[in-house]
Structure 1
Amino acid sequence: MKNIIVTGTSRGIGYELALLFANAGHQVLALSRKTPAALMEHKNISCLSVDLSNEADLDSVTDFLASSWKIVDAVVHNAGSLLLKPFAETTQEDFESVYKVNVFGVANLTRVCLPYLQKGSHVVTISSMGGIQGSLKFAGLAAYSSSKGAVITLSELLAEEYKERGISFNVLALGSVQTEMLQEAFPGYQAPISAGGMATYIFDFTLTGNKYYNGKVLQVSSTNP
């Protein structure tokens, strides 16, 4: 049994992932602004209402870890903010809003968890093919894709900085997945894989990927995007 933190659990991949871990017998700390009843009612899931764009919200995570778990075996940084907007109309405020969730939220939550991570712990950051250098890019995603590139570099750096402690940091750069967030940004687009299907892949990688990888970026995409 492992103690696993998952962000962005109100819907989509994060929701499915939290249930997969919990149903497999692991203890899950589910972090999202909204908390689905199905997660709140599960005996293996603890839910906290957290806005990752607000650093002060993470105080509740600090309190929970200090009083309850003491150890964190894995963190899945799944929460994301997507903005589809022409670059000429994308303001600094727009960029900051996206980066607060996709970059600063990842950095701040990782910092909160560091005292509780131990040898063998695995931190998995969900990025995007849009953040991979040389991959196909899509107009209107300047803030989103650049933020997803930033967390790749952050993860590579943390893998180096904490390798002596035996903590692994890896990134999964996903292609398109059929989620509510994708539908809101690209109405009518049909992705080749469901949220549940991708959650199954992330579930397995979180539990075993650190045996084979550290500081790596795996491209998880069968299509373009």
Structure 2
Amino acid sequence: MKSKNIIITGTSRGIGFELVQLFANKGHHVLALSRNAEPVNKLKLKNVKTIAFDLCNNNDYKKVEEFIAAEWNQVDVLINNAGTLLNKPFSETTFQDFEQVYRTNVFGVSEMTRVVLPYMKRNGHVVTVSSMGGIQGSMKFPGLSAYSSSKGAVITLSELLAEEYKETGPQFNVLALGAVQTEMLNEAFPDYQAPINAIEMAEYIYDFSLKGNKYYNGKVLQVSNSTP
């Protein structure tokens, strides 16, 4: 397969960290974005550029745009993987809590996509990682009001963008994940053991991001063999 230019957010750990290695080891060029760039830097992978990046910092998006314009001029795949998970009773959840979750999980996805879109061609692919908790009618869990509602928001956003860009591309799809054993899951639910690990899910997302837009656009795929 011809080498592609891939942007991945949330790469310091979990699924994002594994995705960087999968793409790089297959010869693709990767821009790895995370508040903590050190974990990926320590890998010393060829064809990987890291930027210390905060989805909530407007100035950081300029760094991404400047890099694309200077080094690549084209992006083939954007994987909106970064997210924050809050497990807190709704009665205790503050305005600031909701704002923080939405700034990362919704506004960050929106702005990153807006910045990258001018550099994507008709066959480009924007993959947004959502959650089964954001699927209407799925089983819901107490304490996840901010998190799950934010994940529902990016599903609708992706459907709208697929419609808006259907004549010109790129394609937009969402993967609604079930429980995956990551550090973020362990922090929110310390005693829960997920049936799938970060590497296994990263392998699925890797394949889907490169090939899925041939078959899907504006779709939400439920990637879960369990509840949650």
TM-score (norm 2): 0.97
Residue from 112, 134, 138 that aligns with 1:135: 138
Q: Does 1:119 align with 2:103?
A: no
Residue from 148, 153, 156 that aligns with 2:156: 153
1:58-79 per-residue CA deviation (whole Å, 9 max, x = no partner) reads 1100110111110000000000
Distance 1:210 1:39 in 2: 30
1:67 corresponds in structure 2 to 70
Structure 1 residue runs of 5 or longer lacking an equivalent are none
Length, aligned pairs only = 225
C-alpha displacement at 1:36, in angstroms? 3.3
C-alpha displacement at 1:169, in angstroms? 0.0
2:16 corresponds in structure 1 to 14
The runs of at least 4 aligned residues of structure 1 exceeding 6 Å deviation read: none
Answer yes or no: is the 8 Å Cα contact 2:40–2:50 preserved in 1: no
Q: Per the alignment, in what secondary structure is the counterpart of residue 158 of structure 1?
A: helix
Q: Per the alignment, in what secondary structure is the counterpart of residue 178 of structure 1?
A: coil
Q: Does 1:195 align with 2:201?
A: no
1:126-164 per-residue CA deviation (whole Å, 9 max, x = no partner) reads 000000000000000000000000000000000011111
Q: Does 1:180 align with 2:158?
A: no
1:29 corresponds in structure 2 to 31
Distance 1:104 1:186 in 2: 25
2:104 corresponds in structure 1 to 101
Distance 2:87 2:22 in 1: 30
Structure 2 residue runs of 5 or longer lacking an equivalent are none
Matches within 5 A, 1:157-176: 157-176=160-179
Answer yes or no: is the 8 Å Cα contact 1:55–1:105 preserved in 2: no
Distance 2:215 2:117 in 1: 21
Answer yes or no: is the 8 Å Cα contact 2:12–2:40 preserved in 1: no
C-alpha displacement at 1:39, in angstroms? 4.0
Q: Per the alignment, in what secondary structure is the counterpart of residue 87 of structure 2?
A: coil
Residue from 88, 91, 105 that aligns with 1:88: 91
Q: Per the alignment, in what secondary structure is the counterpart of residue 165 of structure 1?
A: coil
